[in-house]
A and B are shown apart, each in its own frame.
Chain A
Amino acid sequence: MAEQFVAKASEFQNGDRQIIRVGEDEIGIFKHEGKYYAYSNFCLHQGGPACEGLTIAGVKEKLRDDKTSVGLYFDENSMHFVCPWHGYEYDMFSGEQVADRRLKLKKYNVVQKGDEVYVVA
């Protein structure tokens, strides 16, 4: 495992992503609210490009005490990314597949040194 240069931090804006190939691995690096997250780009379903689809906040439903629905809303405290092939949805903070949290994308550490961002792979 070695640190692989990804990008200049000053050029990596919030909401940006980068897909890199390191040896035989493809890795997706996200920047979300100032933090970096990196996962294997091979979807656990059928190997699709897991990190290249839509990013979207988790959808939750607000219920009153008597369990009547106030409606659905986007939970801005969560963030998901969706595999563009068949819609497997992954938690950006953990890499877990949100419908079955036992399934987890391989996670890589990201380190920032000054203005440079590295992924450990």
Chain B
Amino acid sequence: MSSPKTQTSKSATARPALKKPAAAKSARKAEAAVEPTRAEKAAFLKAMVQGIKPGSKAAEKSAARKGPEAAKSAKAAKAPKAETPAAAPKVEVLRRISGAASIPVTPESERALALAKELEATLADGKLDALQPHAMQALMAALCKIYSAQDEADMRYPVLSGRGAVTGTDVMIVCGALLRAVDLQVFELGMWQSWSGR
């Protein structure tokens, strides 16, 4: 048995001479409305697997089937959200870390720093005779006297800043030379240190 629909369609294709194009067209339309296209089938399968994405056409269609209220809310989901100005993030101060305390600058310190820089540069250039012995002796004597005077006056601080990269060997050479210059033995230095607690 064949359905009247099939018959109509058959007659439309077998006998085009009958010239009932309007009827044939409406029949094809009706068929198409019943049978989903390949793309629709694929989309249906996809939706089955992934679920319907809110705001998509599929969501709108399914909401339309559920009623006008659901359709309204689906449309609202699709509509781009009005740009609300983002609330400015709150700034919270976690920590304030101060730099090194500023050191008062004296003209003598400025000149001493400049001289130290200059001497370091001559050393780096290998000009060992740039500082002649009499100049070295005067400088060393002044440094010894002023450092010990400050120490006696309780202005105590490490004699080297740790920034000049003076090696242990450098220190032993200079200390040995200083002790010899004032005719002191290491033993005497040790005794004085233990007595004075320095």
Binding site for B on A (CB under 8 A): 2, 4-6, 13-23, 26, 31, 52, 55, 57, 62, 64, 70-74, 121
Contact = CB atoms under 8 A, between A and B. Distances in A.
A21 B97 contact: no
Given A16-B99, A20-B93, A64-B126, 4 more contacts: A2-B89, A6-B91, A13-B102, A20-B91
B126 A21 contact: no
Interface of B: 88-100, 102, 120, 123-124, 126, 163-165, 167
A57 B123 CA distance: 21
Query: Interface on chain B toward A: helix, strand, loop, or mixed SS?
Result: loop
Contacts of A19: 93-97
Given A20-B91, A21-B91, A22-B91, A74 B163 contact: yes
Contacts, number: 64
Given A70-B124, A72-B165, A16 B96 contact: yes
Contacts of A71: 165, 167
Contacts of B92: 20-22
Give the interface centre of B88, B99, B124 by most chain A CB atoms within 10 Å: B99
A23 B90 contact: yes
